[in-house]
Chains A and B, each alone.
Chain A
Amino acid sequence: MERKIRVLVAKPGLDGHDRGAKIIARALRDSGYEVIYTGIRQTPEMIAEAALQEDVDVVGLSILSGAHMALVPRVMDKMKEMGMSDVLMLVGGIIPDEDVQALMDLGVTGVFGPGTLTHEIVSTIEQALAA
């Protein structure tokens, strides 16, 4: 059996707008990935634990609430604590330009705003996993 790329798509925080996350989940499935969708209102602990159990290559966080500078580092800390610093982190949602660089500096592999085409996300994942 061939190896499949596994991606966890999660929505941390309290906003309940999951349409974007679901569209991305479907688009990644259509690109041949195995996508584990965990739904809304996930705590950083829940996300890190799910990433561990599912042994994913990539975690994609969808955040529309503006709390990304608080939530992303907490998820990444949890994952580091569990020995998963090698898992790629992607962030999608409404992220102001000045925060994009800050997230990249934290070790996020890609930040994607509204209107992003699926193939941009896919090529980011493929390049990062090949590296």
Chain B
Amino acid sequence: MTMAKSVNLTTVEGLTAALAAGNRRALARIISHIENNTHLARPLLAQLYPRSGQAHIIGITGAPGTGKSTLVNVLARVFRQRGLTVGIIAIDPTSPFSGGALLGDRVRMRDLAGDSGVFIRSMATRGSLGGLAQATADVIMVLDAAGFDRVIIETVGVGQSEVEIASTAYTTIVVEAPGLGDEVQAIKAGILEIADIFAVNKADRDGVDRTVMALKMMLNLGSPERFQVMHHGRMLAIDLPEVNALPTGWELPIIKTVATQGSGAEELADAIEAHRQFLAESGGRALRDRLRAATELRMILRDTLLEAQLAHLEPSFLEAVVDSVAQRQVDPYTAVQQLIHGA
């Protein structure tokens, strides 16, 4: 990164060579190409994909205000003390009104500034349907290919895209905090099922034991086998025989943390490492890779087919079909058949 001027950061070859040499500006530029889906995005992904697959990817999710950013900050600090490099993606929502976004997670990650073993990138959701999950997965892959040992992704904490993004992670941490409304909200949000580890943050507050108890009770409701199958069931894109061979035996840890003081961070990092170990020994990592590949391919195939189909439709024909549906002359399912096969 000291020789920033001598490298060419405008070509695929220049960018990937600079990335391999540890140039951080090249890394930042590559991420922008992917976020903006420029003409360099696909060739870059094609070059970098074979270099990825080494990082342990950690997803951190939970309701707004649970302290996810602060937890990422202390967790990254622990990883650094253990000699591991850390890439971080912090996601915040795009305003549906202006298309702009206020990305403020760095405020809570200031301890990590000035450490060349850490790279933080803020991402806005940009509101394109399904696109967020794919762009995020691609950026995770770039950080992985850049050689970071641990890649942490912090999500916005609401909605279905959470689940999709979490499916990219090997270890998903769901962050809860006492006093943030009842547990039914968490069940409704459907994020409990994706947890490999629970962190109950702000554990110095009243009600922490109640929150821990509620989580324990909910975990006991389902048998472990069923839980595991459900856990992966949501990621299943196609029927895979391996689903029967999914490893069981991981006991979900519930870890109390006070992120602002750093307490519980060591235990959380230990739990992540234990889960990483568990996935490696049980074959779970390979299975997750397989499932992720299936999900990802299905998603890209869907988008590609949609684009191809739309590309050879006459705009006037499309408009006419839209009108006929809006005027209730044709139902939307029949209309789609017309769009695919012609009227």
- The answer to whether A32 and B107 touch across the interface, beta carbons within 8 angstroms, is no
Shortest C-beta distance, A19 to chain B (Å), equals 15
By Cβ-Cβ distance, the 7 closest A-B pairs, closest first, are A83-B4, A29-B100, A39-B107, A55-B28, A46-B113, A29-B102, A32-B100
The complex places the Cα of A37 from the Cα of B95 at a distance, in Å, of 15
Chain B residues 78-116 with CB under 8 Å of chain A are 94-95, 97-104, 106-107, 110, 113-114
How many residues on the B side are at the interface (Cβ–Cβ under 8 A)?
37
A63 to B263, CA, bound (A): 35
Per DSSP, chain B at the interface is: mixed
Whether B165 sits at the interface, judged by CB under 8 Å, is no
14 A-B pairs with C-beta separation under 8 A = A1-B37, A1-B135, A3-B38, A26-B102, A29-B95, A29-B101, A37-B102, A46-B113, A49-B113, A52-B24, A52-B28, A53-B28, A54-B121, A55-B28
Residue of B nearest to A85 (CB): B5
Give which listed residue, B100, B104, B131, contacts A37 with CB less than 8 A: B104
Interface residue B176 (Cβ < 8 Å from any Cβ of A): no
| Total residue contacts A-B, CB cutoff 8 A | 97
Residues from chain B with a CB closer than 8 A to the CB of A32 are: 98-100
Please give, as numbers and ranges, the residues of chain A lying within 8 Å of B122 by CB-CB distance: 34, 36, 54
* Contact among B1, B4, B101, B114 for A34, CB-based, below 8 A: B101
On chain B, the residues within 8 Å of A82 by CB distance are: 1, 4, 25
Contact with B along A22-61 (1 / 0, CB 8 A): 0001101111111111110011011001101111000000
Please count how many residues in chain A sit with their CB below 8 Å of the partner chain's CB atoms. 31
Report which of A29, A31, A49 forms a contact with B114, defined as CB distance below 8 A. Answer: A49
Q: Does A84 contact B (CB under 8 A)?
A: yes
Q: Closest residue to B128 on the A side, CB-wise?
A: A1
* Contact flags B21-57 to A (C-beta < 8 A → 1, else 0): 0001100110110011110000000000000000000
The main secondary structure of chain A at its interface with chain B is mixed
A45 to B112 alpha-carbon distance, docked (Å): 12
- The answer to whether B121 and A53 have CB atoms under 8 Å apart is yes
Question: CB < 8 Å: which of A25, A29, A35, A50 contacts B113?
Answer: A50
Question: Min CB distance, B242 to chain A, in Å?
Answer: 34
